[in-house]
């Protein structure tokens, strides 16, 4: 929902990116994909559940609002103070687009952040990436590594049969909102795992991720109160 006019970032000396000073671009974003490297921070703020991304792949997502309203962004575009902001939101206006098994850098032309007048240089006089752009690419590449770890985590949850359909009910301002289809970990099935499977989850760090997910579900009530 954030990206309105996606365009490939072309090598062009003089091209710049100026800082985006608020989060108005995310005011309608009620869900955001996250990676396992974000679980420990995100679980303190949002419910973490599992759903489908734009390519119908299972993904970890945080719930941030209802009825096309991000409850963590106010009318000035300020994110609620002290709350974690998902990297998916922070990387805007940039994104990676998969093309022929490769990822290419794209941006939202609608944001007007990319221009030829003000901001950080994206390319040098030879059309090569500037230090700023190299840092952006490094962050995006680290995100892809983390996304791969998330994919492996979700695959393991499916293999062990731990996921179940969930129905998220949020009562807010006299209205009842239902968020579906999403999935969560079934605690009974988790507890019923054999010692070998439990030990594998512990040794790989996945058990802690599951606990972060389960703890985060208490934030469903938080959404009702914002």
For 149-191, the pLDDT digits (tens) are 999 999 999 999 999 999 999 998 888 999 988 999 999 999 9
pLDDT at 12: 87
Please tell me the distance from the alpha carbon of residue 130 to that of residue 125, in angstroms, as a whole number: 9
pLDDT in tens, 91-130: 999 998 888 778 899 999 999 899 999 999 999 988 899 9
CA distance from start to end of the chain: 22
Residue from 152, 205, 170 nearest 66 by CA: 170
Whether residue 181 has a cis bond before it, omega within 30° of 0: yes
């Amino acid at each position: 929902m954030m990206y309105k006019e996606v365009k490939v970032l072309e090598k062009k000396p003089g091209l710049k990116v100026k800082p985006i000073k608020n989060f108005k671009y995310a005011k309608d974003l009620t869900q955001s994909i996250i990676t396992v490297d974000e679980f420990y921070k995100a679980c303190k703020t949002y419910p973490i559940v599992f759903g489908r991304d734009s390519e119908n792949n299972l993904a970890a997502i945080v719930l941030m609002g209802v009825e096309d309203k991000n409850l963590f962004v106010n009318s000035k575009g300020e994110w609620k103070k002290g709350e974690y902001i998902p990297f998916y939101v922070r990387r805007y206006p940039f994104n990676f687009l998969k093309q022929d098994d490769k990822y290419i850098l794209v941006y939202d032309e609608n944001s007007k952040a990319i221009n030829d007048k003000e901001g950080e240089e994206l390319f040098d006089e030879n059309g090569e990436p500037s230090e700023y752009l190299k840092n952006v690419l490094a962050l995006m590449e680290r995100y892809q590594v983390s996304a791969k770890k998330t994919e492996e985590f979700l695959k393991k949850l499916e293999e062990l049969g731990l996921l179940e359909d969930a129905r998220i009910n949020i009562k807010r301002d006299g209205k009842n909102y239902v968020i579906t289809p999403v999935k969560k970990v079934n605690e009974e099935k988790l507890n019923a795992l054999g010692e070998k499977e439990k030990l594998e989850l512990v040794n790989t760090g996945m058990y802690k991720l599951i606990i972060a997910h389960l703890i985060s579900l208490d934030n469903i009530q938080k959404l009702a109160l914002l």
